[in-house]
Homo-oligomer: A and B are copies of this chain.
């Protein structure tokens, strides 16, 4: 009789340990591309300095193009751009994006970005650091969220860019879909 009970206990514990393993493995690092632990969509507004728009401009090129091809290769732009919740430039900015981009291709327009999202509101305080290639020919393209501070302490993730509008040489707007997969 005692031995029968023990066998049941053995089986129950086996199951418990197996369940427990699955739980630990599942929770130790849950990195399902479809399930970010935090997500928000921001609109990035870039108003390039053209020599006369100091009042409005939030970015400026600091190098000339390299003359390698006709797609701006080598033009490096330093920016401190507002990010809004919707696609209206004059909406209250939720964050700022500080960093740079440059054009790097000879045969088509293609950019490379490295920048910091700076949050300083009652809702969020902290920064998110991002870098990667902006393959402008693609509808959406993914860059890497490589770190964060403050409310975004040690985060990592993906920033998906989508061109919202390119109005002129001086103004373009990107949708940035920030998906964080490591939240602490």
Q: Could you mark each residue 1-20 of chain A with 1 if its beta carbon is under 8 Å from any beta carbon of chain B, else 0?
A: 11101100110110011001
Name the B residues within 8 Å of A129 (CB-CB). 131-132, 143-144, 146
Name the B residues within 8 Å of A29 (CB-CB). 28-29
Cα separation A110 to B76 with both chains bound (whole Å): 18
Chain A at the B interface: SS class:
mixed
Cα separation A126 to B181 with both chains bound (whole Å): 17
The A104-158 residues at the B interface (CB cut-off 8 A) are: 104-106, 110, 112, 114-116, 118, 126-127, 129, 131-133, 135, 142-150, 153-154, 156-158
Name the B residues within 8 Å of A76 (CB-CB). 62-63, 76, 78
Name the B residues within 8 Å of A99 (CB-CB). 104, 112, 133
The A64-78 residues at the B interface (CB cut-off 8 A) are: 64, 66-69, 73-76, 78
Residue pair A142, B127 in contact (C-beta under 8 Å): yes
Partner of A144, one of B28, B73, B78, B148: B148
Cα separation A16 to B135 with both chains bound (whole Å): 51
Partner of A80, one of B104, B145, B181: B104
Instruction: Using CB atoms, name the residue of chain B closest to A148.
Output: B144
Known contacts: A3-B2, A80-B110, A131-B131. The answer to whether A66 contacts B73 by CB under 8 A is no
Residue pair A64, B66 in contact (C-beta under 8 Å): no
